[in-house]
């Protein structure tokens, strides 16, 4: 596989491996940008701003739930141009879609907050090591890995094929692992690996999990083709035994013991932070300019988050207030609302998720309690609706031969930070009923 490519591959599976997906609109494409550990440099932000201004002036850059970015509104002629510009800026779309290892996500605080270890080198090492497998680009389905640097488990380990949470011990850094979780139309969170992993053992452990997936994943039925379906088919005990056997037989790759894992201590860390809430995940070019300037500064750190937000870290509150002043005030510390692309771009969506996100943005912004709300346009739950404080799944109902939008509403999960899935509250809620449920839950949390 080569990135960039010209022309667009005729085979859909190959296009997806490059991050290229057809949009709902005939003849238009989305190019995903894979961002390692959520880190974009100033020059890279400017390159993306130029792509948006010159190639897709009617569409913003879009944040995903895997620390990726998306360029929408490309044509067969402009998609290769966007890829070339990305490559010139040190960016790629390779591996951001299709049946392969997806972007290894890292919680934003890694290497920034005091006591939170730097995990970007490990993420890069894992990516290179796993992609060295001969079948890395021909897996049964996608394979997702996350790294968390704090006990809050901001990397959302329980909803990943392999989720790893760093923990400091007297003998050095170890990782607590969860395995074989995923969301989708019938979500099931992962199970705990019974023993902590030494940092040097993490690459071969993740390779072992991918090898189990390669050997036992269902290639005939894509609806049951994730690693967690292997676990469900075998049973938890047998699955863990198989993974242990494969892990024991997997060799450590050269250099695994040399991957640095160090945490900033004392005044070397940046203890103050703000989340930039991005309405509907959309970043217009003028905001990209602001982010480029922030990324160039030496006194702040900018990281893409998981829930369509951007985190900014600094040594003082005064610095944060000064550097964030150019952004819209409502964006700084605004509501945590994640919305999939919806009917604006996605052919599978059944409702306008973006419109719902903007309505909730206005209503939630006035409340003291701002829960994590996830809005998915279909039962697949791409916005992480199953693990949100409040999750909405879009659908359609028919009454008197008239179709109208409806939502399934779930509440009470913990964003994949614990093994807890949301509880069903109502099916086929009207948009107004869904909004009322969201606001009622938010007020209830505020009273608590």
| Residue position matching structure tokens 């693990």 | 387
Given a contact cutoff of 8 angstroms between Cβ atoms, the answer to whether 104 and 123 are in contact is yes
Neighbours of 25 (CB within 10 A): 12
Helix (H, G, I), strand (E, B) or coil at 128: helix
Compute the distance between CA of residue 11 and CA of residue 15 in angstroms, rounded to an integer: 6
CA distances, 276 to each of 33, 60, 202, 414, 430 (Å): 20, 16, 32, 20, 30
Query: N- to C-terminal Cα distance for the chain?
Result: 52
For residue 253, give the DSSP letter: P
* 90-143 confidence digits (pLDDT tens): 999 999 999 999 999 999 999 999 999 999 999 999 999 999 999 999 999 999
Compute the distance between CA of residue 133 and CA of residue 17 in angstroms, rounded to an integer: 15
- As a whole number of angstroms, the longest Cα–Cα distance in the chain is 68
Residue (of 38, 50, 58, 130) closest to 84 by Cα position: 50
Give me the pLDDT at residue 419, please.
82
How many CA atoms does the CB half-sphere of 48 hold within 13 Å? 35
* 50-72 confidence digits (pLDDT tens): 999 999 999 999 999 999 999 99
- DSSP letter string over 344-384? GT-TT--S-HHHHHHHHHHHHTTSS----EEEESSTT-TT-
Compute the distance between CA of residue 114 and CA of residue 441 in angstroms, rounded to an integer: 33
Whether the predicted pLDDT of 273 surpasses 80: yes
* 385-394 confidence digits (pLDDT tens): 999 999 999 9
Give me the pLDDT at residue 269, please.
84
* pLDDT band with cut points at 50, 70 and 90 for residue 416: low
Residue (of 64, 56, 61) closest to 25 by Cα position: 56
* 163-187 confidence digits (pLDDT tens): 999 999 999 999 999 999 999 888 9
Residues 6+ apart with CB under 8 A from 379: 185, 393, 395, 408
Given a contact cutoff of 8 angstroms between Cβ atoms, the answer to whether 292 and 42 are in contact is yes
For residue 183, give the DSSP letter: -
Whether the predicted pLDDT of 420 surpasses 90: no
Whether the predicted pLDDT of 367 surpasses 80: no
Tell me the torsion sign for CA atoms 49, 99, 37, 122.
negative
Compute the distance between CA of residue 355 and CA of residue 212 in angstroms, rounded to an integer: 41
Compute the distance between CA of residue 384 and CA of residue 361 in angstroms, rounded to an integer: 18
Pick the range with the lowest mean pLDDT from 86-90, 398-402, 411-415.
411-415
Residues 6+ apart with CB under 8 A from 346: 23, 24, 340, 377
Q: Write down all domains in the chain, each with its CATH number in brackets.
A: 12-99+267-331 (3.90.480.10), 117-258 (3.30.413.10), 337-447 (3.30.413.10)
Give me the pLDDT at residue 83, please.
98
Given a contact cutoff of 8 angstroms between Cβ atoms, the answer to whether 183 and 384 are in contact is yes
* 202-241 confidence digits (pLDDT tens): 999 999 999 999 999 999 999 999 999 999 999 999 999 9
* 329-340 confidence digits (pLDDT tens): 889 988 899 999
Whether the predicted pLDDT of 448 surpasses 80: no
Give me the pLDDT at residue 413, please.
80
* pLDDT band with cut points at 50, 70 and 90 for residue 412: confident
Mean pLDDT of 4-18: 94
How many CA atoms does the CB half-sphere of 66 hold within 13 Å? 23
Compute the distance between CA of residue 411 and CA of residue 441 in angstroms, rounded to an integer: 8
Give me the pLDDT at residue 151, please.
87
The two tokens of residue 154 are 């901001």
In this structure, the dihedral spanned by the alpha carbons of residues 149, 155, 160 and 161, taken in order and rounded to 10 degrees, is: -30
In whole angstroms, how large is the CA radius of gyration of the chain? Answer: 21
């Amino acid at each position: 596989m080569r990135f960039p490519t010209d022309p667009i591959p005729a085979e859909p599976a190959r296009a997806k491996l490059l991050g290229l997906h057809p949009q709902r609109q005939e003849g238009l494409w989305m190019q995903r940008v894979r961002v390692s550990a959520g880190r974009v440099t100033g020059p890279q932000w400017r390159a993306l701003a130029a792509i948006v201004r010159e190639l897709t002036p009617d569409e913003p850059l879009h944040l995903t739930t895997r620390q990726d970015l998306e360029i929408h509104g490309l044509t067969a002629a402009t998609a290769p141009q966007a890829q070339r510009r990305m490559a010139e800026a040190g960016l790629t779309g390779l591996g951001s879609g299709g049946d392969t290892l997806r972007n290894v996500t890292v919680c934003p605080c890694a290497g920034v907050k005091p006591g939170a270890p730097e995990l970007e080198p490990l993420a890069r090492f894992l990516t290179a090591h796993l992609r060295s497998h001969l079948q890395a680009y021909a897996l049964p389905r996608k394979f997702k890995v996350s790294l968390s640097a704090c006990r809050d488990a901001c990397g959302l380990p329980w909803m990943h094929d392999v989720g790893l949470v760093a923990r400091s011990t007297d003998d050095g850094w170890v990782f607590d692992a969860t395995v074989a979780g995923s969301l989708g139309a019938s979500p099931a969170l992962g199970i705990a690996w019974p023993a902590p992993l030494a940092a040097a053992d993490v690459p071969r452990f993740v390779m072992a999990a991918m090898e189990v997936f390669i050997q036992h994943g269902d290639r005939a039925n894509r609806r049951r083709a994730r690693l967690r379906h292997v676990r469900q088919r075998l049973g938890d005990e047998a699955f863990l035994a198989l993974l242990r056997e494969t892990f024991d037989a997997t060799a450590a790759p050269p250099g695994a013991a040399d991957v640095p894992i160090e945490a900033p201590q004392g005044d070397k860390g940046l203890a103050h932070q703000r989340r930039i809430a991005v309405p509907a995940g959309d970043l217009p070019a003028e905001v990209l300019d602001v982010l480029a300037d922030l990324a160039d500064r030496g006194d702040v750190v900018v990281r893409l988050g998981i829930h369509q937000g951007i985190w900014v870290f600094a040594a003082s509150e005064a610095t944060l207030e000064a550097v964030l002043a150019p952004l819209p005030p409502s964006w700084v510390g605004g509501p945590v609302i994640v919305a999939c692309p919806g009917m604006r771009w996605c052919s599978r969506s059944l409702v306008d998720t973006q419109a719902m996100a903007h309505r909730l943005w206005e209503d939630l912004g006035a409340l003291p309690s701002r829960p994590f709300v996830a809005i998915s346009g279909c039962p697949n739950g791409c916005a992480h609706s199953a693990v949100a404080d409040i999750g909405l799944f879009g659908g359609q109902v028919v009454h008197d031969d008239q179709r109208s939008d409806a939502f399934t509403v779930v509440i009470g999960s913990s964003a994949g930070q614990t093994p807890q899935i949301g509880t069903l509250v109502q099916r086929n809620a009207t948009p107004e009923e869904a909004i009322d449920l969201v606001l009622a839950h938010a007020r209830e949390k505020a009273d608590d």
